[in-house]
Amino acid sequence: MVHVVYQKEITYEELAVEDGIINFCKAKNIKVIEIWGSTLYHKKDIPFKTDSSINDIPNTYTQFRKAVEARAKVRQVLSMPDQLKPLPPGVFIGEIPTLSELGVEQVKKDCRTAFPFPGGESSGLGRLKQYLWETRCVEKYKETRNGLVGENYSTKFSPWLAHGCLSPRMIFSEIKRYERMEVSNKSTYWVIFELLWRDYFKFVCLKYGDRVFYKTGIFNKKLPWSQDMKKFQAWAEGKTGVPFVDANMRELKKTGWMSNRGRQNVASFLVKDLGLDWRLGAEWFESMLLDHDVCSNYGNWNYAAGVGNDPRQNRKFNMIKQGMDYDGKGEFVRLWVEELRAIKGAKIHYPWTLGTHELAGVHIGETYPRPMVVPPEWKRHFGKNKKNKSKIRTAPRPRTGQRGIQSCYQSAKKGGGKRSGRGRVQDNRWGPPGPST
């Protein structure tokens, strides 16, 4: 007998695909087996009810985390079989088509990318081994996780998690093994902390259904959003005139990757400084991110917009202070905003305030845009160099010889209702304080 096995999903479009599979298999007399495997903690093991009629998932992450950590256990990773049984007679594997056969143009990888890795399980397992056992970068994760340049400031596990190439339980298992054999500290725990954030957004979507996609968010909060497409296009293209925002948006467009720190800032700029509809940003991220995860992305945009799981609804990031804190020498901006490279030091974060000599040939409004907005709170950070110090520590160098080997939507219905505008191309979890894996 032939069985079809798939991992159970949560949100509307994914559930629609599952319904199509079920109906097709039913007509062909094929048995369908659903498994729950996308979260670190199985939904049957957490101390909350998660069915459609009664769902008591807390509305704050801290309450959820403390209860889960105290009262639930992560299931063990299942061992892979040495070999699989042969296919039934008459079933042929076929061949996976190449990108060119599918009509997809091969895109050249940008050498500046912070995510230079190929996809697939083997690559994901290789990255897990590299980040833990070969480089020991996991030991400094909490200190380096807000970085912007390079492949080792964060785990970069999120694309493999989003596509099912790595399971959160596999990562958890390796972290625990590392803690037993090498080091257990705040950084090793923090990777698990971030995996639990990823779980939380999935359970929030299970609780609120399609409300996570609506303008008013999961808490039905009505705010006066704009849909000025000219402003949105400037944001999406990285042409806002605010270098820290532009550098992050250009990195996303060129590589499909953006750091957790960058995601928090560009989201805050879109919704709090420009006042644009948060769904525009969520859909852009969905269409561009290599590590797009429906629940994490839309949950985080709810969070950033003040219509979701954020106990501090007035949270707003200061683009100049953030740039000075996390890119104190301007190296990240200089990497992506090429027209500003001649400007020295941290002054690159506020070029519109500089004189002709300091601009070094840059013409504001001509070779680089004027800033779309300049909120008054930014001004107190102009001219502050911070002595070129940033909050980011450098990731440890690799070691050798170590022991052992991260737009418009219809009425809300839980698990149902149609939404439009969703593309189909974390940092797992990026909105709340602390970065994604």
The residue among 196, 208, 205, 218 whose CA lies nearest residue 45 is 196
46 and 174, same domain (yes or no): yes
> Which pLDDT score is estimated for 290?
97
256 and 275, same domain (yes or no): yes
- The rounded distance, in Å, linking the Cα atoms of 243 and 5 is 47
15 and 50, same domain (yes or no): no
362, 342 Cβ separation under 8 angstroms: yes
pLDDT in tens, 74-85: 999 998 889 988
The reply to whether 82 falls in a domain is: no
Query: Given a cut of 80, is residue 399 above it in pLDDT?
Result: no
* HEC letters along the chain: CCEEEEECCCCHHHHHHHHHHHHHHHHCCCEEEEECCCCCCCCCCCCCCECCCCECCCCCHHHHHHHHHHHCCCCCCCCCCCCCCCCCCCCCCCCCCCCCCCCCCCCCCCCCCCCCCCCCHHHHHHHHHHHHHHCCHHHHHHHHCCCCCCCCCCCCCHHHHHCCCCCHHHHHHHHHHHHHHCCCCHHHHHHHHHHHHHHHHHHHHHHHHHHHHCCCCCCCCCCCCECCHHHHHHHHHCCCCCHHHHHHHHHHHHHCCCCHHHHHHHHHHHHHHCCECHHHHHHHHHHHCCCCCHHHHHHHHHHHHCCCCCCCCCCCCCHHHHHHHHCCCCHHHHHHCHHHCCCCHHHHHCHHHCCHHHHCCCCECCCECCCCCCCHHHHHHCCCCHHHCCCCCCCCCCCCCCCCCCCCECCCECCECCECCCCCCCCCCCCCCCCCC
- The rounded distance, in Å, linking the Cα atoms of 277 and 430 is 19
When pLDDT is cut at 50, 70 and 90, the band that residue 411 belongs to is very low
The reply to whether 115 falls in a domain is: yes
> Which pLDDT score is estimated for 431?
47
> Which pLDDT score is estimated for 430?
52
> Which pLDDT score is estimated for 391?
52
Mean pLDDT of 307-331: 91
66 and 4, same domain (yes or no): no
> Which pLDDT score is estimated for 1?
59
The reply to whether 390 falls in a domain is: yes
Phi/psi for 226 (5° steps) reads -100, 155
151 and 31, same domain (yes or no): no
Give the residue numbers marked as catalytic.
194, 197, 225, 260, 278, 301
The reply to whether 99 falls in a domain is: no
> Which pLDDT score is estimated for 309?
84
Buried b vs exposed e over 69-81: b needs ≥16 C-beta within 10 Å? eeebebeeeeeee
300 and 416, same domain (yes or no): yes
The reply to whether 230 falls in a domain is: yes
Beta bridge partners of 409: 419
> Which pLDDT score is estimated for 386?
52
When pLDDT is cut at 50, 70 and 90, the band that residue 425 belongs to is very low
205 and 168, same domain (yes or no): yes
Q: Which residue has the higher pLDDT, 383 or 174?
A: 174
13 and 150, same domain (yes or no): no
56 and 25, same domain (yes or no): no
pLDDT in tens, 175-198: 999 999 999 999 999 999 999 999
When pLDDT is cut at 50, 70 and 90, the band that residue 421 belongs to is very low
The reply to whether 87 falls in a domain is: no
The reply to whether 401 falls in a domain is: no
Query: Given a cut of 80, is residue 8 above it in pLDDT?
Result: yes
Q: What percent of the chain has pLDDT over 90?
A: 78
Query: Given a cut of 60, is residue 402 above it in pLDDT?
Result: no
**pTM value?**
0.87
- The rounded distance, in Å, linking the Cα atoms of 68 and 24 is 38
154 and 31, same domain (yes or no): no
- The rounded distance, in Å, linking the Cα atoms of 50 and 53 is 8
260 and 319, same domain (yes or no): yes
Q: Which CATH number do you get for residue 218? A: 1.10.579.10
The reply to whether 327 falls in a domain is: yes
pLDDT in tens, 106-147: 888 999 999 999 999 999 999 999 999 999 999 999 999 999
Question: Count of domains in the chain?
Answer: 2
15 and 46, same domain (yes or no): no
- The rounded distance, in Å, linking the Cα atoms of 146 and 392 is 6
- The rounded distance, in Å, linking the Cα atoms of 245 and 27 is 52
Q: What percent of the chain has pLDDT over 70?
A: 86
> For residue 7, what are the domain limits?
1-35
